[in-house]
Amino acid sequence: MFLMNYYKYYFQNNTENKFYYLSLIKEQNNRFSIHGLWPQYSLNSYPTFCKKVTFDINKLNPILPQLNELWYSNKNNNSDFWKHEYEKHGSCVFTPLTELEYFEKTINLYNEAIKLELPEKFYDENTKKCLIPLDLDFEFKKE
């Protein structure tokens, strides 16, 4: 138990390796949609469900058209997908963001990534994943 608590403390307080992934999905039409903005402790370690957050779809009213266009689910209804992403990943961002700020930040990063043609650079044909790294200031990391 001590070791587990130590690792939890270490990862939560060590900023040396922390970063974010902007996760995108390559759709059938070869365009990319948003999957999420994911805090990472390292390449293979990430926090989930860090604190109790209450998802309120009404807080997203100002950006609902953009969310429906860029960040949609092919399996469930969109609001369930957004709720899941916010509770699992948005509750763990290293810089505190409100629900609206988390989704706005992700949309803005997506638009910037598309403009810079980053999805093509970071898409892995073998894993079918597109994980674009960002530093703690939400700047795209230079590889």
| DSSP state, residue 138 | S
Give the DSSP letter string of 36-86.
Answer: EEEEESBTTB---S-S-----GGGGGGGHHHHHHHS--SSS-HHHHHHHHH
Q: At what angle do helices 99-115 and 78-88 cross, to 10 degrees?
A: 100
Let me know if 84 is a catalytic residue. Answer: no
* Catalytic one of 85, 104, 125, 143: 85
Catalytic position from the list 27, 84, 89, 112 = 89
For the question of residue 35 being annotated catalytic, the response is: yes
Which of these is catalytic: 27, 35, 87, 139? 35
What are the residue numbers of the active site?
35, 85, 89
